[in-house]
Structure 1
Amino acid sequence: MSEGRVYFALDGDDFDPDEVTKFLGLQPTSICRKGSKISGKTPRSNSWQLSTENIVENYIDVFELSSKIIARLKPKKALILQAKEQFNISPRFEVVLSFSMDEEQPTPAIGFDVETVQFLGDIGAFIDIDTYML
Structure 2
Amino acid sequence: MNRYRVHVIVEQRVYFMIQSDELDPGRITQYVGVEPTRSEAKESRRGRKSERLMPPRHEWMLDSGLAATTSLDEQVEAVMNQLAGAWDRIGELAAGGATATLVMLRSFEPGEHSSPGGLFLNEEAISFLHRVGAHLWIDEYDLS
TM-score normalised to the size of structure 1?
0.84
Partner of 2:93: 83
Partner of 2:55: 43
Q: What's the CA shift for 1:117?
A: 0.7
Residues 80 and 99 of structure 1: is their aligned pair in 2 closer, same or farther, counting only changes over 3 Å?
Answer: same
Partner of 2:34: 26
Supply the AA of the counterpart residue of 2:89: L
CA-to-aligned-CA distance 1:23-44 (integer Å, 9 cap, x gap): 2221001112221227848211
Structure showing the higher helix proportion among its residues: 1
Q: What's the CA shift for 1:55?
A: 3.2
Q: What's the CA shift for 1:74?
A: 2.2
RMSD: 2.2
Give me the identity figure in percent.
Answer: 25
- CA distance in 1 between counterparts of 2:42 and 2:57 reads 4
TM-score normalised to the size of structure 2?
0.79
Q: What's the CA shift for 1:3?
A: 0.5
Unaligned runs of at least 5 residues, structure 1: none
Unaligned runs of at least 5 residues, structure 2: 1-8
The list of structure 1 runs, each at least 4 consecutive aligned residues, that deviate by more than 3 angstroms after superposition, is 38-41, 53-57
Q: How many residues are paired up?
A: 131
Supply the AA of the counterpart residue of 2:135: F
